[in-house]
């Protein structure tokens, strides 16, 4: 995902993580104020674009039983409640990884 945004080495996520950690620890009030200045729809579009780029890098779920259903159910529930979507996604993944009877 980071390569599509210009990263060339494995150090790019480390640098980005360090930068975000520094912002969170030392400038959290300023960052919160900056986010309040941006209109929410613009932040939503930026998040959507980043999500689509990350999704393209992940590819289609193949080979694993129930991966597509888990992905779709989790994505649909995220529109309503993110915490519930996380729990349902975990539960579905657990259920689909159980061995089938007779195997």
Please give the Cα distance from 59 to 69 (Å, whole number).
Answer: 15
pLDDT tens track, the chain, 103 positions: 566 667 777 788 888 889 989 988 998 888 888 888 988 888 889 888 888 877 776 666 666 667 888 888 888 898 889 999 999 999 998 988 877 777 6
Domain boundaries, the chain: 1-59, 61-102
CB distance 26 to 32 below 8 Å: no
CB distance 5 to 53 below 8 Å: yes
Task: Give this prediction's pTM.
Answer: 0.47
């Amino acid at each position: 995902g980071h390569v599509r945004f210009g990263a060339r080495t494995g150090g790019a996520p480390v640098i980005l993580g360090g930068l975000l950690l520094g912002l969170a620890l030392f400038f959290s009030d300023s960052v919160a104020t900056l986010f309040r200045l941006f209109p929410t729809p613009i932040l939503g579009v930026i998040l959507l674009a980043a999500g689509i780029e990350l999704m393209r890098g992940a590819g289609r779920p193949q080979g694993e039983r129930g991966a597509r259903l888990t992905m779709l159910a989790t994505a649909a529930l995220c529109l309503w409640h993110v915490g519930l979507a996380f729990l349902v996604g975990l539960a579905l993944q657990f259920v689909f990884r159980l061995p089938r009877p007779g195997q």
